[in-house]
Every structure is written in C-alpha cells, then in structure tokens.
Amino acid sequence: MLQDAEGKMPHQRTEAVVQLSSLAGSTTQKLLNFFDRCFNPVIERRHANAKSMQTALQRLLLPPTTTESSLEDDLSFIKGHLERGSVIEQQEISANCRMVFDTMNDIVKRLAATLGKKYVHTQGKLERKGASTRMNLGIAESDHHENRFSPHWEIDVQGSEIVVRSSSDFLFRLDALNPDVEGDFRERLQAHLVKGVRGLIETPAHQVIYRGFFRSTPFARLSEAMEEARRVKRNIFVVLFDDKHHQYSKLDHKLGYFMGLEATKNLVHERLVIAVVPVSSATHLVSSGTLELAQWFLLDKEGNVLGSREVQANPNEGLKVVKDLVAM
C-alpha cells in the first residue's frame, strides 16, 4: 500500500524507519528524503526521469564526514527530519482532516438547532490515528436517543485526497492540501443529514442499520435480504430487536460488542447476507412480538431457521459464533 491508515508512505512506517536507520547510519536522512520523492502520492512530485533518480542515488553514495554521531549530529538529524517536505505536508494534511471533522460537527450542530427542541446533536466513539478519524455523528430525538440517525463516519487520506465516507453511503472527496469544506461539501452533507432525519419520522426503527456495526449497510427489511440471499446464494444473518423496547433490546451494547473484531466484520461481510430488523416485522421468528434482548438468527435463502441465540456482548464470542455459522 502506498499509504497506510495514518497516511504514511512505506518508508515512513516505524518498522521501516528502524531498518533503514540501521542500514544507512548517518545517511539515513538522505535516504528518507530519496524515498519521500519516490513514493510521493502526487505523481508530479516524483522523479521526472531516470537521470533525476540516478543523481539522487549518487548523492546517497557520498561518504559521511564523520563516523561517529555527536550531540550536534543527532540534533541536526532531528531538525532535518522535522523540516522534510513530506513531514511538513503530512502535518498540514492531518490538520486539514481535523478541520473537515470540525466542519462536519458544526454542520450537524447547526442543523439540530434549526430543527428546534425535538432534535439534538449526537456524537460518540471518536477515534483518531494519524490523519484518520473515526466517529459516530448525527441527529437524535431529544427525548429518545435510541431514535437517531447517527452513522459511523471515516475521514481518511488517499493519495492527494481526503475521503469522507459513512455507513449511510455518503462519499465525498476533498483536495488534501486545500480542502474546500464549503459549497458542494456542505450542501451535500446537509442534504444527507436531512434525509436521515426524515427517516426518523417515517421509519425510525430502520435507521439502526446506519450505526456502523457491519462493513456494509445491512438490509432493514427481511424480504429484501431474502431476495439478495437467493441472488448471491448465501445464508442470512438476521439480528432482531424490539422497536417498542426503550433501548431497542440493548442493540447498541449487544451488537456493538458482538461485532467488535475486524475479523468478525470481514467474515460476515464476505460470507453472509446481513439484515437488522425490528421484531414487529418478523413475528414468525418471535411469536410473542417482544424481545428484551437482541437476538440473532441464521436463515437459509428460503427463510428456514438454521440457528438462533441471544446476541452476546462479547467480541471473542462474536467471532466464534460467526466462524461456526459460515461453516454451516
């Protein structure tokens, strides 16, 4: 990968820097500068031709002036590292990613204020690593926070762009060095959020599918999931919750932990069709029509039940269960 989740090029990653330093010694800075240009995500900033690269390599072969590092050498190395164009650029891009997040947060707060006392801004699970940001962000009913449109958002650097995507199928690309967070970005994000709030009025229970439990957006209707299962010839992983329960059968807690491992998410995404539906629309699975705690079912493509159990709030148990289910 040209850039990892933190936006680092191959030679900038910790394990690579350690190896390069042990090999290059006092010429490490020159070697890192060389790779800065070779791996630059913006093609125009790389070596234009073989002669340019050859000249840079010849500079690397010049013998060092001293064989032992001193305090001055170490300080010079640190300053040289901090002054490298790629390091400065990475800091600028990280700051731009934070600006994008701040803009998104401001847009949501302004929308909540516009809608009045019925709705409030909601945010959670904020994680930052390098330039990347992960969080849940959206609008909730002020008197019932379980009724919320709160997708899982990701802000990442890909090449020369900052990519903003959500579990509710929003995608927008911005220039990494000069992101325009007004105009089209603001308008599209507002329209996406308003559509989500409308969904809270028309089909409030269906908005749980956007909370980022899975790698892809699950189906909100069992009939649609069965149609897809027949098309792709896969079994269906169904999570049921009670939309009349004040905590939606503790769906956030139970399913959030159950699907906590990336390995679990990958298995479910690759091997099963996913649906998260209210028990009121699947009474043939739970005849009582009520559900205190969220429950999973495995159905074949014809809707026959192959297994079921309460969703355990345990990521290790989640992985074990899913491994058993995909083996069936």
Question: Rg of the Cα trace of the chain?
Answer: 25
Domain ranges of the chain: 10-83, 91-202, 222-326
Rounded Cα distance between 320 and 327, Å, is 11
Residue 210, CB-side half-sphere exposure with 13 Å CA sphere: 28
Taking phi first (over 0 means left), then psi (-120 to 50 degrees means alpha), and beta for anything else, what does residue 303 get?
left
Strand partners, 309: 296
Residue 47: phi, psi to the nearest 5?
-60, 135
Rounded Cα distance between 168 and 73, Å, is 52
CATH 3.30.70.20 correct for 222-326: no
**pLDDT tens-place values along the chain, 328 residues long:** 777 766 777 888 878 877 877 777 667 777 887 888 888 877 777 888 888 888 888 877 776 655 556 676 667 666 666 666 666 778 888 899 999 999 999 999 999 999 989 999 999 889 988 889 999 999 999 988 899 999 999 999 888 899 999 999 999 999 998 999 999 999 999 999 999 999 999 999 999 999 999 999 999 999 999 999 999 999 999 999 999 998 999 999 999 999 999 999 999 999 999 999 999 888 889 878 788 999 999 999 999 999 999 999 999 999 999 999 999 8
